[in-house]
Amino acid sequence: MDQKNKKQIIIFGAVIALLIVIIAVVFIVASLPQKGENGGNAPFDLALTFGDDPRTQKNFSWFTKAECEAVVEYYISDAEPGSAFDQSRAASSIGFTDAFETNCPKEGEENSASGKLEQVTLYRHGVYVDGLEPGATYLYRVGDGKNWSASHTFTTAPEGTLADTGGFSFIIVADTQGFVKSDYEFWAAAFRKASEQCEAPAFMVHLGDFTENQDNALLWESYFTLASGLADLTTVPVAGNKDDEVFLDYFLLGTQGGVTGLNGYYSFDYMNVHFSVLNTGDGSKDLSKSQIKWLTKDLSSDSARGAAHRIVLIHKAPYSDRNHADDSEITEIRAQLLPLFEEYGVDVVLEGHDHYYFRSEPATGGGLVKVDYSTSVKTIDGEEVTAFKLSGEDGENGSGVFYFMPGASGVKQHNKGFRDMPEILTAVSELMSGPTFCICDVEENGIYFRTYCVDRYRNAVALVEGWGIEK
């Protein structure tokens, strides 16, 4: 073969190789998620929250990697989560979409606590739904009108009072934060066990600090996705100090065009139980004057005064005996809040932030005076619960506030020493060996709490304490 033919063969082979590479690249690019297709429009970090009225309103928020519309479809159904969705039966609501600047670890550094973060743009979606049927279970899905999430369920609050319905139960968790993706396996184990212990919760209270780094989108995704079933349960979120700057980006509060929750504090009534949710990040150290003014108005409202029970939810614990208990900001918050709680007859304050188990004696007089009580034993789901009945004059119920911290529901457990604080009336104060969760059962004449510690390696739970307030 002469030199000219060899050269032609080499050129021809190079052209063929180049064509093969081009074709391969085309197929690879075509198979990647493209903006406007399902990969970029696939919903994630789906959060379900109450509107102002839990009987008729529900809020939905989620994220996508591509810019697209926000649509929720829903209809009344007794189908299980994940069931085939019947679009012919569905109503739909359209919401809003905003660009959201955040950060993610570099590829391969998802479980490195020191890994570098890279800036990414996500798209936040929110939909307010109104006009729902009270006491009904709905099948729903979210998406852009073409690309949809799996189907999930939600249930609206029923009409009537505790006397009419027999009561309800809800889950309490706190401080699920982790440093890397794998840390959230601890939270996932706690949520799984909580779902087993409480088969039909009305909602889940989260007392704040969802992640360790609010600017790391992967940690939020780990929180939402590793806890299977979270999209089928309404969350009552409380702003923690680790997430107060992005709290309102991940959870949609209030109603469309309303002002409720715009500063991260809000209230709602579930049946005739009044919940006041505070934001300890609203203010440089103590709570802002506007929040204190709002709380005073809220606790003095007709719905609060006429409630069977009054419950306050807060992240930074104003009343505890360790870790942060003597921080200057906690001392200031304590001085602000305790007189209000006592004046307006708050029954119990649910706290987070300190990552251990704490229950106070019933307190009055600025938290300094123990209220007398009698006790009885009640059995709930086979567990013994000590019920406290406060003693007042002429045999009437006394007035005192319980402060209760069920512990951290994630990997991060504090081990610092207890404080010697005579101004704190401590009943129980214990370090935990693993993540905890609490089941609260609410009845017409009582509120009962059962807290469990999770051993995820043995797939087991142990009761920490069962206690309650009886009226």
pLDDT digits 0-9 by tens, 386-412: 999 998 754 455 689 999 999 999 999
Question: What pLDDT score was predicted for residue 259?
Answer: 84
Q: Which two tokens stand for residue 206?
A: 């989260």
314-327, pLDDT tens digit by residue?
Answer: 999 999 998 788 88
pLDDT reading at 371 higher than 70: yes
Question: What pLDDT score was predicted for residue 16?
Answer: 53
- C-alpha–C-alpha distance, residues 35 and 22, integer Å: 22
Check: CB of residue 358 under 8 Å from CB of residue 426: yes
Burial (CB count within 10 angstroms: exposed 0-12, middle 13-18, buried 19+), residue 281 = buried
55-78, pLDDT tens digit by residue?
Answer: 999 999 999 999 999 999 999 999
3-state secondary structure at position 7: helix
164-212, pLDDT tens digit by residue?
Answer: 999 999 999 999 999 999 999 999 999 999 999 998 999 999 999 999 9
Domains of the chain by start residue, with CATH: 40-153 (2.60.40.380), 162-470 (3.60.21.10)
- C-alpha–C-alpha distance, residues 261 and 156, integer Å: 20
The number of CA neighbours under 13 Å toward the Cβ of 455 is 8
Check: CB of residue 22 under 8 Å from CB of residue 213: no
Question: What pLDDT score was predicted for residue 253?
Answer: 97
Q: Which two tokens stand for residue 94?
A: 């359209």
Q: Which two tokens stand for residue 139?
A: 């099948």
pLDDT reading at 285 higher than 60: yes
Check: CB of residue 171 under 8 Å from CB of residue 439: yes
Q: For the CA atoms of 35, 36, 39, 44, what is the dihedral angle to 10 degrees?
A: 100
Q: Which two tokens stand for residue 211?
A: 């992640």
Question: What pLDDT score was predicted for residue 257?
Answer: 86
pLDDT reading at 26 higher than 50: no
User: What integer best gives the mean pLDDT of the chain?
Assistant: 90
pLDDT reading at 281 higher than 50: yes
pLDDT reading at 432 higher than 60: yes
Question: What pLDDT score was predicted for residue 37?
Answer: 40
Question: What pLDDT score was predicted for residue 20?
Answer: 43
Q: Which two tokens stand for residue 16?
A: 């063929």
Percent of the chain whose predicted confidence (pLDDT) is above 90: 80
What is the model's pTM? 0.90
pLDDT reading at 294 higher than 80: yes
pLDDT reading at 9 higher than 80: no
Question: What pLDDT score was predicted for residue 114?
Answer: 79
283 — pLDDT class (breaks 50, 70, 90)? confident
Backbone torsions φ then ψ of 194, nearest 5 degrees? -65, -40
